[in-house]
Amino acid sequence: MSKFMQGNSKRILVPGGAGYIGSHTCVELLNRGYTPVIVDNFVNSSMAAIDRICQITGANDVPVIEADIRDTDAMIYALREHECEAVIHFAGLKAVGESTANPLDYYSNNVQGSLSLLDAMKQTGVGHIVFSSSATVYGTPVSLPYTEDHPLAPTNPYGMTKYAV
């Protein structure tokens, strides 16, 4: 276990924390004594997820900031205001078919959004990040199950944005 993860009550910025995987991660963070600071633009998610996080964990003070990950100033504010020490990044558009129809939206949100977040982290001195990728970066499987050394060959804009980040 890293030195960082040994201490509890640390604040972790969770962009996309109101989404499916992000909200489950927030529950686990709370159950382990961490404070997730959720940043979400609620395009692919709902405030109902925040209510469920609180209901499941008994928390009543989970910080939520409605902002787009592409807004570097908002990311800087969230990191500084809540004294976050790390980021677990789930924010992004995620539908393969939609990415083919709207590839520029996917590159803007997923790639530029991640760059904005990384810039905010650099400006605030936050040096720890976990990035949630996708098996789509592997493309058509050469073998199953996928392993991390599987060749990378995304076949759609969504997978390409995850690969780019």
**Active site amino acids:** 158
The full length of the chain comes to: 165
Interatomic CA distance for residues 99 and 158, integer angstroms: 5
Cβ(118)–Cβ(164) below 8 Å: no
For residue 87, list its beta bridge partners. 13, 129
The backbone region for 139, taken as left when phi is positive above 0, alpha when psi lies in -120 to 50, beta otherwise, is left
Interatomic CA distance for residues 136 and 23, integer angstroms: 21
For residue 66, list its beta bridge partners. 40
Cβ(16)–Cβ(89) below 8 Å: yes
